[in-house]
């Protein structure tokens, strides 16, 4: 069996694998797609110590770093079941069952898409999902935020300080965000809120030039010219396969303590799949390190 088996090969998993392997223990990593969300990112400007890098380049150096330490890398493999017996067993889609004394889950998350024409086409060409990451790219421009929940309204407030104007589109007749956030939002001079509207299309030629929506009462179509669209309708953790095994929040995030431990002894978790309040590369890497050190502590006590 492995001493530590990491499930997920994004920043959290790579960091966890390196920290574990550096303890001289038998470490494996299973990843459906090495690099994780980083592979979908073009410019990265907030990975501290690098003024600028690009997703595929960062993903390649993550893998290169992991390979420095005899970690057993199992790519294009998807875990589907976890069970604690004598060892912790992880079953893969392929049918193989891996055994380990400790497991670190770092399966990440995915942004929920609106699924309208233009969204996929203009990803990284005006369509963005992370205001902390991409907000500054839209300085002085007009952007839309799709989604009037807490994350949408936080994004709109954040962006309003950077961009010239923010248009918020909410599907329901009322915003769902907390009252304090709404109060702050409505105090800002450069924000327009459209409620009860359905986004129909993100328009553009080589990059985004506008957004079309339908008023759900009148059926009328509206169009706003703008340069960016932030989609803020939810981040879904990749934890469905653990629903019966580990404690999760209402949102499906794995609940971890300060050592990265989940509700099952010997099972740790890190990164975007956990209830960590902020989801960023640097934060995922930190929590991967924490989970590996937590797992090592667990191993020397058991």
Annotated binding site: 3-18, 142-156, 262-272
Considering the candidates 133, 158, 209, 297, report the single residue annotated as catalytic: 133
CA distance 285 to 44: 15
Answer for the pair 253, 275: CB distance below 8 angstroms, yes or no. yes
Q: Is 178 a catalytic residue?
A: no
Binder among 204, 266, 271, 294 for ligand FAD (CB under 6 A): 271
According to CB under 6 A, which residues from 101 to 130 bind ligand FAD? 106-109, 111, 129-130
Beta-strand runs (E) in 48-125: 53-54, 72-75, 79-84, 88-92, 97-105, 109-111
Neighbours of 254 (CB within 10 A): 27
Q: C-alpha distances in angstroms, 223 versus 24, 208, 210?
A: 59, 13, 7
**Does residue 133 belong to the site contacting ligand FAD (CB under 6 A)?**
yes
Nearer to ligand FAD, 156 or 289 (CB): 289
**Does residue 32 belong to the site contacting ligand FAD (CB under 6 A)?**
yes
Binding segment for ligand FAD (CB under 6 A), chosen from 27-35, 135-143, 164-172, 175-183, is 27-35
CA distance 27 to 168: 46
* Helix/strand/coil for 272: helix
**Does residue 61 belong to the site contacting ligand FAD (CB under 6 A)?**
no
Q: Is 273 a catalytic residue?
A: no
Give contact residues for ligand FAD (rule: CB under 6 A).
Answer: 7-13, 30-34, 36-38, 40-41, 44, 46, 78-79, 106-109, 111, 129-130, 133, 238, 241, 271-272, 279-282, 284
């Amino acid at each position: 069996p492995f001493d530590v088996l990491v499930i997920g090969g994004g920043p959290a998993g790579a960091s966890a694998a390196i920290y574990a392997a550096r303890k001289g223990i038998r470490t494996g990593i299973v990843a459906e797609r090495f690099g994780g969300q980083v592979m979908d990112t073009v410019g990265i400007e907030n990975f501290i110590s690098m003024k600028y890098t690009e997703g595929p380049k960062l993903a390649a150096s993550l893998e290169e770093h992991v390979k420095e330490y005899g970690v057993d890398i199992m790519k294009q493999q998807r875990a589907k079941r976890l069970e604690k017996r004598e060892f912790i067993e992880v079953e893969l889609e392929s049918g193989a069952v891996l055994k380990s004394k400790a497991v670190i889950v770092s399966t990440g998350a995915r942004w929920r898409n609106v699924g309208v024409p233009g969204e996929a086409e203009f990803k990284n060409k005006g369509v963005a999902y992370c205001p902390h990451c991409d907000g500054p790219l839209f300085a002085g421009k007009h952007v839309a935020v799709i989604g009037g929940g807490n994350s949408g309204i936080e994004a709109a407030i954040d962006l309003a300080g950077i961009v010239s104007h923010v248009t918020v589109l909410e599907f329901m007749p009322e915003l769902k965000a907390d009252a304090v956030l709404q109060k702050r939002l409505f105090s800002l001079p450069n924000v327009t809120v459209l409620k009860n509207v359905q986004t129909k299309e993100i328009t553009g030629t080589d990059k985004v030039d506008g957004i079309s929506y339908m008023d759900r009462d009148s059926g009328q179509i509206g169009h706003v010219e703008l340069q960016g669209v932030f989609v803020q309708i939810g981040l879904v953790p990749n934890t469905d396969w653990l629903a019966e095994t580990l404690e999760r929040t209402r949102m499906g995030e794995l609940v971890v303590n300060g050592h990265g431990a989940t509700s099952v002894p010997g099972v740790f978790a890190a990164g975007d799949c956990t209830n960590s309040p902020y989801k960023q590369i640097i934060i995922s890497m930190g929590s991967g390190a924490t989970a590996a050190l937590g797992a090592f502590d667990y191993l020397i006590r058991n």
